Amino acid sequence: MTAVPTIGVLALQGDVAEHVAVLRSLDVPVVRVLSPEHLDAVDGMVLPGGESTTMSKLALRYGLMEPLRERVAAGMPAYGTCAGMIMLADEILGGTDDQRTVGGIDMTVRRNAFGRQRESFEARVPIDRIGGGPFEAVFIRAPWVERVGSGVIVLGEVKGPGEAGRIVAVLQGGLMATSFHPELTGDARIHRLFVDIVKGHA
Ligand code: GLN
């Protein structure tokens, strides 16, 4: 077990700086990952929000897709927000034909699922694992999770008036994903949970 793990943030595209800032506020060494070599230095990875089709293209172009898959398959913890959640999904709906994911979480994620109804919104999401009351979650053209395998723990759901509950936060071993963006709201509880997960795995 490493006392202070080094966490990488996939820095190809998206809200990289915001994740780096939250992790630094938790006194965690952070590496911006832009090449396979950078991956060697990290104990866990954050995959940020952004645009998953672009992230997929850039990950392939920078030679990062396969090394990321290998590390995740070998047990490296990872946390994906929004587009990053899509990147960690074994199966996606509404993607482009050439879109690829790193995968790792046995789930089916629908891109822009909430976006069809509301481009962006905020909701209070109860997440028992983090304590301290519901999480003020910001959703931006967000995906939701339509199917989870038996090894996946549902951490949080959103339910609007008259709507079915939608899964927006999941955990499978060391892999975590949220449809929303905790890096934008100044509440570090979910990042702290991820750092603890990485410490446990290191
Ligand atoms: N809709 C975006 C996608 O499909 C995700 C949006 C986000 O990350 N805020 O990649």
Q: Report the distance separating Cα 110 and Cα 114, nearest Å.
A: 9
- CA 3 – ligand 1 centroid, Å: 33
The answer to whether residue 18 sits within a structural domain is yes
87 lines ligand 1 (CB under 6 A): no
What is the signed CA dihedral for 119, 148, 68, 44, rounded to 10 degrees?
A: 90
Q: Flag whether 105 is in a domain.
A: yes
Is residue 84 within 8 A of residue 68, CB to CB? The reply is no
Tell me the pLDDT of the chain (202 aa) as tens digits: 457 899 999 999 999 999 999 999 999 999 999 999 999 999 999 999 999 999 999 999 999 999 999 999 999 999 999 999 999 999 999 999 999 999 999 999 999 998 766 788 999 999 999 999 999 999 999 999 999 999 999 999 998 666 779 999 999 999 999 999 999 998 999 999 999 999 997 5
Residue 2 covered by a domain: no
Domain that holds residue 103: 7-201
pLDDT score, position 117: 62
1: in domain: no
User: Which residue out of 19, 38, 82, 191 is catalytically annotated?
Assistant: 82
Q: Rounded to whole angstroms, how far apart are CA atoms 149 and 165?
A: 17
Q: Are the C-beta atoms of residues 138 and 190 closer than 8 Å to each other? A: no
Answer whether 141 contacts ligand 1 (Cβ < 6 A). yes
In a domain, 137, yes or no: yes
- Quick check: CB of 51 below 6 Å from ligand 1? yes
Does 156 fall in a domain?
Answer: yes
Q: Which of these is catalytic: 18, 181, 191, 201?
A: 181
- pTM summary value: 0.95
Residue 150 lies in a domain: yes
Q: Is 82 a catalytic residue?
A: yes
What is the rounded distance in angstroms from the CA atom of residue 30 to the CA atom of residue 49?
17
Q: Cα-flanking dihedrals φ and ψ of residue 48, to 5°?
A: -80, 175
User: How much is the pLDDT for 138?
Assistant: 95
Instruction: Kindly provide the residue ranges of all beta strands, DSSP E only, lying in 60-134, ordered along the sequence.
Output: 78-81, 89-93, 105-110, 120-125
In a domain, 95, yes or no: yes
Number of domains in the chain: 1
Centre of ligand 1 to C-alpha 85, Å, is 9
Query: Distance (Å, rounded) from C-alpha 46 to C-alpha 68?
Result: 11
Give dist(CA 87, CA 13) in Å, integer. 13
Check which CATH number belongs to the domain holding 129 and give it: 3.40.50.880
3-class state of residue 195 by DSSP: helix
